[in-house]
Amino acid sequence: MDVSQSPFIQTAAYYSVVVLFLVIFLAIFELVTRYQNWVEIKNGNVAVAMATGGKIFGIANIFRYSIAQNDSLPQMMGWGLFGFVLLLVGYFIFEFLTPKFNIDEEIENDNRAVGLISMIISIGLSFVIGSGIH
């Protein structure tokens, strides 16, 4: 049996790449938000935890679709990266469409309603993005 065709090795490869991308993508989200995710979460900020949890779920869900629709690791990575960019664009659109208040500021101030909406947007968009992955 060819080792490269082993489902165990393929699963480990996909898992490793997704975890690496998840760390990188969360670091990018950390750069574009005005608050420090992990500091706020450590301090008990539930709104930040919900928004960050939505981003984690969204990224993982996009990769779930990418793995399901692609036979090669490079294709999976490409579609996952493209999906992340779309998710990031969705974040900026959400900020743009709420001119009456600043999303990051509200989440940083533990406004749980805004954190919940942010989480739902990330999760919802990940399903839309994922359904378009080929």
Return the domain boundaries, the chain.
3-131
pLDDT of 134: 85
The pLDDT value recorded for residue 71 is: 84
93-110 per-residue burial string, b: 16 or more CB within 10 A, e: under 16: ebeeeeeeeebbebbbeb
Cβ count within 10 A of residue 62: 28
Describe the crossing of helices 73-96 and 112-131 by its angle, rounded to 10 degrees. 140
pLDDT value of residue 16: 96
Torsion, Cα 32 117 24 78, to 10 degrees, reads -110
pTM of the model: 0.91
- pLDDT the model gives residue 3: 46
Stretches in the chain below the pLDDT threshold 50: 1-3
Query: What pLDDT score does 4 carry?
Result: 60
Instruction: Give the burial class of 5: count Cβ atoms within 10 A of its Cβ; 0-12 exposed, 13-18 middle, 19 or more buried.
Output: exposed
